[in-house]
Structure 1
Protein backbone atom coordinates (compact mmCIF):
# COMPACT_ATOMS: atom_id res chain seq x y z
CA UNK A 1 0.00 0.00 0.00
CA UNK A 2 1.31 3.45 -0.93
CA UNK A 3 1.74 6.41 1.44
CA UNK A 4 0.73 8.77 -1.37
CA UNK A 5 -2.72 10.34 -0.74
CA UNK A 6 -5.36 9.29 -3.25
CA UNK A 7 -6.70 12.02 -5.52
CA UNK A 8 -8.34 12.30 -8.92
CA UNK A 9 -6.30 15.40 -9.73
CA UNK A 10 -3.14 15.27 -11.80
CA UNK A 11 -0.43 17.55 -10.42
CA UNK A 12 0.68 20.15 -11.13
CA UNK A 13 -2.66 21.71 -12.03
CA UNK A 14 -4.51 25.01 -11.79
CA UNK A 15 -6.81 24.86 -8.78
CA UNK A 16 -9.23 27.46 -7.34
CA UNK A 17 -9.09 28.03 -3.59
CA UNK A 18 -12.21 29.75 -2.22
CA UNK A 19 -12.80 31.21 1.25
CA UNK A 20 -15.77 33.16 2.56
CA UNK A 21 -16.33 35.31 5.61
CA UNK A 22 -17.51 38.68 6.96
CA UNK A 23 -17.05 41.56 4.51
CA UNK A 24 -15.50 44.10 6.87
CA UNK A 25 -12.94 41.86 8.50
CA UNK A 26 -9.72 42.09 6.45
CA UNK A 27 -10.45 38.62 5.15
CA UNK A 28 -8.91 39.20 1.73
CA UNK A 29 -5.49 39.96 3.22
CA UNK A 30 -5.70 36.92 5.52
CA UNK A 31 -6.64 34.54 2.71
CA UNK A 32 -3.94 35.83 0.37
CA UNK A 33 -1.34 35.56 3.14
CA UNK A 34 -2.30 31.96 3.97
CA UNK A 35 -2.38 30.84 0.33
CA UNK A 36 0.89 32.65 -0.41
CA UNK A 37 2.56 30.82 2.49
CA UNK A 38 1.81 27.46 0.84
CA UNK A 39 1.89 28.52 -2.84
CA UNK A 40 4.39 31.38 -3.21
CA UNK A 41 4.09 33.73 -6.14
CA UNK A 42 0.32 34.20 -6.28
CA UNK A 43 -0.49 36.43 -9.25
CA UNK A 44 -2.72 39.45 -8.51
CA UNK A 45 -4.72 38.57 -11.63
CA UNK A 46 -5.53 35.18 -10.06
CA UNK A 47 -7.41 36.78 -7.14
CA UNK A 48 -11.14 37.47 -7.41
CA UNK A 49 -13.27 39.03 -4.65
CA UNK A 50 -17.07 39.01 -4.73
CA UNK A 51 -19.48 40.54 -2.24
CA UNK A 52 -22.76 38.93 -1.29
CA UNK A 53 -25.94 40.58 -2.50
CA UNK A 54 -26.51 42.19 0.89
CA UNK A 55 -22.84 43.10 1.33
CA UNK A 56 -22.47 41.20 4.61
CA UNK A 57 -20.15 38.49 3.23
CA UNK A 58 -17.29 38.28 0.75
CA UNK A 59 -15.89 35.36 -1.18
CA UNK A 60 -12.24 35.32 -2.19
CA UNK A 61 -11.14 32.95 -4.93
CA UNK A 62 -7.45 32.46 -5.71
CA UNK A 63 -6.37 30.21 -8.57
CA UNK A 64 -3.01 28.59 -7.86
CA UNK A 65 -0.73 26.14 -9.62
CA UNK A 66 -1.20 23.27 -7.16
CA UNK A 67 1.75 20.93 -6.81
CA UNK A 68 0.31 18.17 -4.61
CA UNK A 69 -2.62 17.01 -2.51
CA UNK A 70 -0.67 17.61 0.73
CA UNK A 71 -0.15 21.24 -0.37
CA UNK A 72 -3.91 21.70 -0.92
CA UNK A 73 -4.69 19.94 2.37
CA UNK A 74 -2.33 22.31 4.23
CA UNK A 75 -3.97 25.37 2.66
CA UNK A 76 -7.48 24.20 3.54
CA UNK A 77 -6.44 23.19 7.06
CA UNK A 78 -4.99 26.64 7.76
CA UNK A 79 -7.88 28.51 6.14
CA UNK A 80 -10.47 26.47 8.05
CA UNK A 81 -8.68 27.09 11.36
CA UNK A 82 -8.61 30.89 10.95
CA UNK A 83 -11.25 32.77 12.96
CA UNK A 84 -12.23 35.08 10.06
CA UNK A 85 -12.89 32.26 7.59
CA UNK A 86 -16.47 31.02 7.80
CA UNK A 87 -16.13 28.55 4.88
CA UNK A 88 -13.27 27.23 2.79
CA UNK A 89 -14.06 25.37 -0.44
Structure 2
Protein backbone atom coordinates (compact mmCIF):
# COMPACT_ATOMS: atom_id res chain seq x y z
CA UNK A 1 0.00 0.00 0.00
CA UNK A 2 1.36 3.38 -1.01
CA UNK A 3 1.93 6.01 1.66
CA UNK A 4 2.26 8.80 -0.89
CA UNK A 5 -0.64 11.24 -0.50
CA UNK A 6 -2.81 11.74 -3.54
CA UNK A 7 -3.16 15.31 -4.67
CA UNK A 8 -6.49 16.53 -6.02
CA UNK A 9 -6.59 16.20 -9.77
CA UNK A 10 -3.92 13.52 -9.91
CA UNK A 11 -6.32 10.73 -10.91
CA UNK A 12 -9.65 11.87 -12.37
CA UNK A 13 -11.19 8.44 -11.75
CA UNK A 14 -10.60 8.80 -8.01
CA UNK A 15 -11.66 12.46 -7.87
CA UNK A 16 -15.03 11.78 -9.47
CA UNK A 17 -18.21 11.06 -7.55
CA UNK A 18 -19.18 8.69 -10.36
CA UNK A 19 -17.84 5.15 -10.49
CA UNK A 20 -17.04 4.07 -14.02
CA UNK A 21 -18.57 2.32 -15.80
CA UNK A 22 -22.08 3.13 -14.61
CA UNK A 23 -25.53 3.81 -15.99
CA UNK A 24 -25.96 7.57 -16.16
CA UNK A 25 -29.27 9.31 -16.94
CA UNK A 26 -29.20 12.54 -18.93
CA UNK A 27 -32.24 14.77 -19.38
CA UNK A 28 -32.61 16.68 -22.62
CA UNK A 29 -35.30 19.27 -23.37
CA UNK A 30 -36.03 20.46 -26.87
CA UNK A 31 -38.74 21.95 -29.04
CA UNK A 32 -41.19 19.20 -29.95
CA UNK A 33 -40.35 18.70 -33.63
CA UNK A 34 -40.01 15.71 -35.93
CA UNK A 35 -36.53 14.25 -35.73
CA UNK A 36 -35.67 15.38 -32.18
CA UNK A 37 -35.74 11.90 -30.62
CA UNK A 38 -33.83 10.44 -33.56
CA UNK A 39 -31.15 13.15 -33.29
CA UNK A 40 -30.72 12.59 -29.53
CA UNK A 41 -30.56 8.82 -30.07
CA UNK A 42 -27.88 9.20 -32.76
CA UNK A 43 -25.75 11.36 -30.45
CA UNK A 44 -26.15 8.90 -27.56
CA UNK A 45 -25.12 5.99 -29.82
CA UNK A 46 -22.07 7.92 -30.99
CA UNK A 47 -20.75 8.23 -27.43
CA UNK A 48 -22.11 4.93 -26.07
CA UNK A 49 -22.03 2.12 -28.65
CA UNK A 50 -24.12 -0.10 -26.34
CA UNK A 51 -26.84 2.55 -25.91
CA UNK A 52 -30.28 0.92 -25.72
CA UNK A 53 -32.84 3.19 -27.39
CA UNK A 54 -35.68 1.19 -25.81
CA UNK A 55 -34.78 2.82 -22.46
CA UNK A 56 -35.57 6.36 -23.68
CA UNK A 57 -38.24 8.12 -21.63
CA UNK A 58 -40.34 10.90 -23.19
CA UNK A 59 -42.43 13.61 -21.48
CA UNK A 60 -44.40 16.36 -23.17
CA UNK A 61 -44.42 19.82 -21.62
CA UNK A 62 -47.72 21.05 -20.20
CA UNK A 63 -48.51 23.07 -23.33
CA UNK A 64 -47.08 20.40 -25.62
CA UNK A 65 -44.50 22.69 -27.24
CA UNK A 66 -41.47 20.98 -25.73
CA UNK A 67 -40.38 17.39 -25.25
CA UNK A 68 -38.36 16.09 -22.34
CA UNK A 69 -36.16 13.12 -23.22
CA UNK A 70 -34.28 11.04 -20.68
CA UNK A 71 -31.50 8.89 -22.07
CA UNK A 72 -29.47 6.51 -19.93
CA UNK A 73 -25.94 5.92 -21.18
CA UNK A 74 -23.16 3.74 -19.87
CA UNK A 75 -20.66 6.29 -18.61
CA UNK A 76 -17.08 5.12 -19.00
CA UNK A 77 -15.18 8.35 -18.23
CA UNK A 78 -15.56 12.00 -17.37
CA UNK A 79 -14.22 12.86 -20.82
CA UNK A 80 -16.94 10.77 -22.48
CA UNK A 81 -19.67 12.50 -20.45
CA UNK A 82 -18.22 15.97 -21.11
CA UNK A 83 -18.10 15.29 -24.85
CA UNK A 84 -21.63 13.89 -24.82
CA UNK A 85 -22.96 16.94 -22.94
CA UNK A 86 -21.21 19.25 -25.42
CA UNK A 87 -22.64 17.38 -28.41
CA UNK A 88 -26.15 17.43 -26.98
CA UNK A 89 -25.99 21.07 -25.86
CA UNK A 90 -24.74 22.27 -29.23
CA UNK A 91 -27.47 20.52 -31.23
CA UNK A 92 -29.82 23.15 -32.73
CA UNK A 93 -33.01 21.34 -31.59
CA UNK A 94 -31.86 21.11 -27.96
CA UNK A 95 -32.72 23.82 -25.45
CA UNK A 96 -31.41 22.35 -22.15
CA UNK A 97 -29.28 19.38 -21.04
CA UNK A 98 -29.25 18.26 -17.40
| Length-normalised TM-score, structure 2 | 0.82
- Aligned match of 1:36: 45
User: CA RMSD of the aligned region, Å?
Assistant: 1.5
Q: Segments of 4+ in structure 1 off by > 3 A?
A: none
User: Which sections of structure 2, spanning at least 5 residues, go unmatched?
Assistant: 1-6
Size of the aligned set, in residue pairs, is 89
Q: Which has the higher contact order (CA 8 A, sep 6+)?
A: 1
- Aligned match of 2:17: 8
1:37 alignment partner, SS class: helix
| Length-normalised TM-score, structure 1 | 0.89
Q: Does 1:67 align with 2:76?
A: yes
* Deviation, structure 1 residue 22: 0.5
Q: Does 1:81 align with 2:90?
A: yes
User: Which sections of structure 1, spanning at least 5 residues, go unmatched?
Assistant: none
For the pair shown, the structure with the greater C-alpha radius of gyration is: 2
